[in-house]
Amino acid sequence: MIAGIIFDKDGTLFDFNATWGAWTRAMLRAEAGDDPILCARLAAALGYDMEKARFHPGSIVIASTVEDVADAIIAVLPGDLDKPALIGRMNAGSAQVAQVEAVPLRAYTAGLRQSGLTLGLVTNDAEAPALRHLDKAGIRADFAFVAGYDSGFGAKPAPGQLTAFCRATALPPEACIMVGDSTHDLHAGRAAGMMTIGVLTGPAPREELAPQADIVFDTIAEIPAWLRREKLISA
């Protein structure tokens, strides 16, 4: 039986391109000083389509930490860019982004909790913006555990955040599922000894996720019915 579900944030609870597409274009233009050549180079480095405001499936932004993304930006921009200041701007800006929910989240997470499931969130975003995003969605109280890359447990694809969830909730990994939109999420789940579910609300295609997932769904909306159908929960 399944007792805990751990979700990734961007691309899983929230639609990745719908949430981050336009914001990223504005952020890159600001960092490049509206220089079109620098903007194009930054977009190429991040795997981002400036015209369509969408990320390519192989974009490093999909599963990397903000520090990794900052390194990629610094490698393109001229001069001696202050990395902590850049990360500060990115975190402050991202915390204000209007998140586009993959499904209506208040009813969704409340339904999972009513089924007796303990919920966690693990993200390669920083913890503070992640908590603000959950607050804005009105679902923070539904999560027993939240960790970002800077919470002291490491970052995905390593399993540290997931094993920390198990320690915090006293749930064994075999009673938990990791849900995410990237292979980093699925690798972390497998390494932690958990069942894994892939979702297609991020840029990664089904064929990329399927080899690492027990099952792949279009969105998280399909998970509750599947859990009941497979008799993995009692409710």
Q: Can you name the CATH fold of 4-15+100-229?
A: Rossmann fold (3.40.50)
User: Per-residue pLDDT averaged across 5-33, rounded?
Assistant: 94
Task: Tell me what the mean pLDDT of segment 142-146 comes to.
Answer: 98
Rounded distance between C-alpha atoms, residue 39 and residue 161, angstroms: 34
Q: Which pLDDT value is given to residue 88? A: 92
% of the chain at pLDDT higher than 90:
89
SS (H, E, C) the chain: CCCEEEECCECCCECHHHHHHHHHHHHHHHHCCCCHHHHHHHHHHHCEECCCCEECCCCCCCCCCHHHHHHHHHHHCCCCCCHHHHHHHHHHHHHCCCCCECCCHHHHHHHHHHCCCEEEEECCCCHHHHHHHHHHHCCHHHEEEEECCCCCCCCCCCCHHHHHHHHHHCCCHHHEEEEECCHHHHHHHHHHCCEEEEECCCCCCHHHHHHHCCEEECCHHHHHHHHHHCCCCCC
Mean residue pLDDT of the chain comes to: 95
Q: What is the mean pLDDT of residues 168-178?
A: 98
What is the percent of the chain where pLDDT is above 70?
100
Strands in 176-180's sheet, in edge-to-edge order, are: 143-147, 118-122, 4-7, 176-180, 195-199, 215-217
Amino acid at 43: A
CA-CA-CA-CA torsion for 130, 215, 175, 62, nearest 10 degrees?
Answer: -20
Mean pLDDT for the stretch of residues 196-201: 98
What is d(CA 98, CA 163) in angstroms, rounded to the nearest whole number?
30
- Residue 106 identity: R
Q: Dihedrals φ, ψ of 163, to 5°?
A: -70, -30
* Interval 144-165 mean pLDDT: 97
Longest dimension (CA), the chain: 59
Task: Report residue 80's pLDDT band, with 50, 70 and 90 as the boundaries.
Answer: confident
Using the predicted structure, report yes or no on whether residue 235 has a pLDDT greater than 80. Answer: no
What pLDDT does 97 receive? 86
| Tens digit of each residue's pLDDT (9 = 90 or more) over 23-79 | 999 999 999 998 999 999 999 999 999 999 999 998 999 888 999 999 999 999 988
Tokens of 229: 């159908």
Domain ranges of the chain: 4-15+100-229, 17-95
Q: How many CA atoms lie within 13 A of 151 on its CB side?
A: 24
Instruction: Out of 61-70, 130-139, 191-200, pick the least confident.
Output: 61-70
Q: Are strands 4-7 and 176-180 parallel, antiparallel or unpaired?
A: parallel
CB 146 within 8 A of CB 131: yes
pTM: 0.91
